[in-house]
Amino acid sequence: MTKKDKLSVEPYKGVRDFYPEEQAFLNYFIATCREFVEKVGYVEYDASPLEPSELYKAKGAENEEMVNEQTYTFVDRGGREVTLRPEMTPTVARMVAGKRRELGFPLRWYSLPNCFRYERPQRGRLREFWQLNVDLFGSHSPYADAEIIAMAYGLMKAFGAEDDDFVIKVNSRAYLNKLTEKLSDEARKKLFNLLDRKTKMPSDEFEAGLRELAISPERFMSAEGPAEIEKMIREFSDAGIKNIIYDPSIVRGFAYYTGMVFEVFDTHPDNNRALFGGGRYDNLTAMFDDEPVAGVGFGMGDVTIRDFLAVRNLLPVYAPPTHVYIAIPSSELALQAQTFAGSLRQQGVNVAVDFGEKKLGDQIKTAAKHNIPFVIVLGQDELASGQYTVRDLETGSEKKLDKGQLSEFFLNIERK
Amino acid sequence: MTKKDKLSVEPYKGVRDFYPEEQAFLNYFIATCREFVEKVGYVEYDASPLEPSELYKAKGAENEEMVNEQTYTFVDRGGREVTLRPEMTPTVARMVAGKRRELGFPLRWYSLPNCFRYERPQRGRLREFWQLNVDLFGSHSPYADAEIIAMAYGLMKAFGAEDDDFVIKVNSRAYLNKLTEKLSDEARKKLFNLLDRKTKMPSDEFEAGLRELAISPERFMSAEGPAEIEKMIREFSDAGIKNIIYDPSIVRGFAYYTGMVFEVFDTHPDNNRALFGGGRYDNLTAMFDDEPVAGVGFGMGDVTIRDFLAVRNLLPVYAPPTHVYIAIPSSELALQAQTFAGSLRQQGVNVAVDFGEKKLGDQIKTAAKHNIPFVIVLGQDELASGQYTVRDLETGSEKKLDKGQLSEFFLNIERK
């Protein structure tokens, strides 16, 4: 092949390659979410990203833009219309409706799917993102709402955020509908649209929009919340959680919300925007089934959280899972190196070996490029004496250990 | 909506919904693979399932069928041709070529992607499957080949297989090319095709096929292997691993293999077929780059392994991550239940709570439906006395514990 015949090494536009460091963050995101939500009794499910397109067409007019312009939709070789899931909620509603009689409620489910949207790639928005989805089905209790909000709070803390790094703004769709019952359907749609874009416009533009609908901005924004939300906020406050507040301007974009809605806001002055949110949707499974199952939940994306953690210096430092690299002065020792590594692995140590095709110095450079913390050079002397020199690649310090001491040394390092 | 307007609860044809029990197996598959390959120094990467279609078109004529008929390929809203990855090898070659100068070799990478093929769904073949991919780049050493084969062996053992449950058949593409150098290109292609389908046809049909190409079946099948493979097999045997053998009929379907190829065969009489396999491909990154990087690796799918484990009764028993369910006699205790659960969670216990919207008996049934092993009924008496009765839902036995003993009880159960 000539140079110009070569294929591009770039991924498809708007999606990411996960080289080991990026993959390590994704794994950290997944592990942190998983550990936290399982503590609250949630159990994992998943589905294929391939879904019948009809699943996204029935959800209501507010989602038209997403379905028509922002999904990956195509016809398969058998003539079926398929969509790559743009979000998980329709899928989980389908799955719950599909086994409603067997599942047992309240049902706590979580998932960590990748979702796809055809959008212009920009900061915080990619064509593929990962999203924790947490859903609680089969309860109308305000404590179900409170559990979901408490989980959003707890997750932020699990990622290392402080209480004053974020605020959770809560509202009620039902209450908002009641407050605006005198508006025409069209005017209410306009209002919801305006509220949804509130943080993306100057406040005078927002206020002018309210006045256009004959709504007083002052009175609207200072209205007291519905009793059940005020009570919930009081109970959080009594438990020491003060950054959960009522905000009448929160609506959430999706048409399927019917009750409580909330958004977690970054309080950083340069990034005052919603990180994620959720709410109550009591009719969603009615698409599939005559007996709808109440639901409340939220979705939290990896891209947004990563940006949040990066700004606050909360990203974990990358370290590979490998404890030690075995370098050999000659390729003739390759079999012995594998045998030596095998016995360390049996004791729980993660060991990579070189095959001795390059000079020792280059072998050690390979270990350093891979961020492996320690190297052992395994030569005839070491094999004969049973004494091994462990070199710390960061500090350059060395330690002589016999075989029995090696695994203890590496496994203790890991526990730090 | 009337009944006939309802949407189907079925997933897209040929893919699976992962309800908690299925998801638990997928997580077991992933965790078992991950723990094993990290022991050998492999590091995880991933990429999006969306790839530019050209990535699959350059690989050579033998893959035509897959590219033209078995991929999900479509044009995005911006006019780009996109394919859902049908396998991971082209992606990993693209990523390695993309950072060749920075990566450091030998490079050990693994991934656990889902892959997509438009096929008629049948036993062992679905339109979406998960696949462990293990690849070792930048070494021509026969010990790199041996490491990859040893990992295929070790993985089978990690899933609980015994040595006589499977056999690993090894061959060499390079040697096969040399053995058949007198054949025309067309005849050699016919031979490889015949070899690839060997286990799918009666042995007399296979032998007739060989004779048609003027090859003696007896001589072909009893030929001695190339020296480097015979040596490797001897070294495995010396280390106590006897189920790795030379088999001149192994070719592997993909055009990109250049050296050692192998397949892991199920020895079960009803299922005598390849479970998975791999080999050496030294020119694959040449699609992207003038300096190709040698590679050797394999892919192992979740569907095939699951079938193998099911036949041998090696599937893990499902258990949810939740340790205990809190039931309450009245919804008025919902806040106390949440507070009680919160303090147990802080000690590491995974706790789900009921909101008291159903009778106690029904709450306990919910816990049982979810396979949660223990229930605590939290009433006024328990809250007043600080004594809690833990009921084992499997045996019906009960135990009275005070708050300080609870977490120790549940966390000890887990360790069993």
Please report residues of A whose CB lies closer than 8 A to that of B7.
54-55, 58, 94, 287-288
* Exposure b/e, A366-395, CB count within 10 A at least 16 = b: bbeebbbbbbbbbbeebeeeeebebbebee
Confidence of residue B416 (pLDDT cuts 50, 70, 90): very low
For A19-88, where are the alpha helices, taking DSSP H only?
20-39, 64-69
- Residue B323 tokens read as 């340790």
Binned average pLDDT, 10 residues per bin, chain A of 416 residues: 75 97 98 98 98 82 65 94 95 96 97 95 89 98 98 98 97 87 88 86 91 88 88 96 95 84 92 90 86 95 94 96 98 96 97 98 98 97 96 96 94 70
Do the Cβ atoms of B50 and A12 come within 8 Å? yes
Reply yes or no on whether the pLDDT at B58 is more than 90.
Answer: no
Q: What is the pLDDT of residue B177?
A: 85
Q: What is the pLDDT of residue B188?
A: 87
Separation of alpha carbons B317 and B81, rounded Å: 43
Place of tokens 């084992």: B392
Average pLDDT over residues B322-348: 97
Q: What is the pLDDT of residue B64?
A: 60
Q: What is the pLDDT of residue B63?
A: 57
For B224-359, where are the alpha helices, taking DSSP H only?
227-238, 302-311, 334-346
Q: What are phi and psi of B397, to 5 degrees?
A: -70, 155
Q: What is the pLDDT of residue B272?
A: 74
Between residues B147 and A186, which one has the greater pLDDT? Answer: B147
Do the Cβ atoms of A290 and B147 come within 8 Å? no
Residues listed for chain A = 416
pLDDT cut 90: percent of chain B above it: 75
CA-based nearest residue to A258, from A141, A176, A170: A176
Q: What is the pLDDT of residue B60?
A: 52
- Closest Cβ–Cβ partner in A104, A325, A334 for B369: A104
Separation of alpha carbons B189 and B180, rounded Å: 10
Average pLDDT over residues B370-389: 97
Which region, left, alpha or beta, applies to residue B124 given φ > 0 means left and ψ of -120 to 50 means alpha? left
Query: Nearest-CA residue of chain B relative to A335?
Result: B143
DSSP 3-state of B166: strand
Q: What is the pLDDT of residue A222?
A: 81
Q: How far is B365 from chain A (nearest CA, A)?
A: 8
**Which domains are assigned to chain A?**
20-310 (3.30.930.10), 324-412 (3.40.50.800)
β-strands A107-111, A43-44 pairing: parallel
CA-based nearest residue to B91, from B146, B54, B127, B144: B54
Q: What is the pLDDT of residue A8?
A: 94
- Closest Cβ–Cβ partner in A9, A50, A146 for B94: A9
Q: Which of A39, A110, A128, A236 is the mutation pick for testing B, counting most B CBs within 10 A? A: A39
DSSP 3-state of A287: helix
Q: What are phi and psi of B90, to 5 degrees?
A: -60, -35
* List of residues 6+ apart from A150 with CB closer than 8 A: A236, A241, B338
Contact B238, A335 (CB under 8 A): no
CA-based nearest residue to A112, from A91, A81, A82: A91
Q: What is the pLDDT of residue B66?
A: 66
> Is the alpha carbon torsion for A49, A52, A58, A64 positive or negative?
positive
- Closest Cβ–Cβ partner in B54, B239, B368 for A7: B54
CA B317 to chain centre: 18
Q: What is the pLDDT of residue B4?
A: 60
Average pLDDT over residues B359-374: 98
Separation of alpha carbons B409 and A415, rounded Å: 25
For residue range B66-117, what is the model confidence (pLDDT) as tens digits?
Answer: 667 899 999 999 999 999 999 999 999 999 999 999 999 999 999 999 999 9
Q: How far is A255 from chain B (nearest CA, A)?
A: 17
Average pLDDT, chain B: 92
Separation of alpha carbons A268 and A310, rounded Å: 12
Place of tokens 């590679």: B295
Do the Cβ atoms of A287 and B239 come within 8 Å? no
- Residue B302 tokens read as 């979740």
Q: What is the pLDDT of residue A61?
A: 42
CA-based nearest residue to A323, from A353, A360, A299, A300: A353
Average pLDDT over residues B125-142: 97
Burial of B27 (0-12, 13-18, 19+ CB in 10 A): middle
Confidence of residue B414 (pLDDT cuts 50, 70, 90): low
Query: Nearest-CA residue of chain A relative to B115?
Result: A48
Q: How far is CA A123 from CA A303, B29, B251, in A?
A: 9, 34, 47
Separation of alpha carbons A79 and B9, rounded Å: 19
Separation of alpha carbons A338 and B6, rounded Å: 60
- What is the longest distance spanned by two Cα atoms in chain B? 90
